Amino acid sequence: MIQTTQGIVLHSFKYGDSGIIARILTPGLGLQSYLVQGARKSKSRIRASLFQPLTLLDMVVYHKEKSGLQRIKEARCSHPFHTLATDIRKTTLALFICEMLMNAFKHQEPQKEAFDFIFHAAQKLDMEEDNLSIFHMVFLLQLSKFLGFSPGKNYSDLKCFFNLREGLYQSQYNNATLCLTHEESNYFYKLSVTNLQDTSRLDIPAAMRKILLQKTIDFYRYHMEGFKEIKSHHILESVFH
């Protein structure tokens, strides 16, 4: 069946002599793998350069239910980026975000609202200039709302220790693996109630950002079955910390 769809590129790799396979998130078909034959040839109609992390696409695809590998008939960039592909900070963020998204959506049903949030967040990242160092954490905590496990908003003077597994703030720090300290919980709460338009208003020390990044990844790991080890966050640490 031929379908028209939007797409967000998460990853691509070489296939055969001149092709690629691209992992692309779509609003109605979920996360799909697409084979693009000849994409690495100089005269290809669909070029491999189109499949960089977070590239936003308009596509016409051949879709077969229960097939692990789909095909693309037509593809074009729907919103060309201005800085995302050339700013090393943004490129690094895009790689990390895409790795997290591939983990998060590998078993998820298609979610139009989540797709729209990610689509607009990619555009926001391209235009953002201030406080990129917390963009990815705010993004992930906002995204968790669409995945069904967002952090609770019950932070208070009495309940000031965040429990990663329960997703709530509690009154005691009783497990160093599951619980954030008072200071970590305070910053984690501030991150969770910040939106992508207001990241410049929140200043977090570099050492604390490093801790909170790992805690955010751990939060996803506790709430998403089969969540694999994330590797690209170490590159983030060298760029932002």
Residue 204 is predicted with a pLDDT of: 95
Asked whether the predicted pLDDT for residue 239 surpasses 80, the reply is no
Residue 33 sits in a domain of what CATH number? 2.40.50.140
Residue 29 is predicted with a pLDDT of: 94
- Structural domain total, the chain: 2
Q: Which amino acid is at 77?
A: C
Q: Find out whether 25 and 10 touch, Cβ atoms under 8 Å.
A: yes
The residue out of 77, 110, 125 marking a domain boundary is 77
- Residues 172 and 114 occupy one common structural domain: yes
**pLDDT digits over 85-132, tens only?**
999 999 999 999 999 999 999 877 889 999 999 999 999 999 998 779
- Residues 72 and 94 occupy one common structural domain: no
Distance, CA of 60 to CA of 54 (rounded, Å): 18
| Residue 173: domain span | 88-240
Q: Which amino acid is at 178?
A: L
- Residues 62 and 117 occupy one common structural domain: no
Asked whether the predicted pLDDT for residue 238 surpasses 80, the reply is no
Residue 68 or residue 215, greater confidence: 215
Q: Find out whether 22 and 33 touch, Cβ atoms under 8 Å.
A: yes
**pLDDT digits over 164-205, tens only?**
999 999 999 999 999 999 999 999 999 999 999 999 889 999
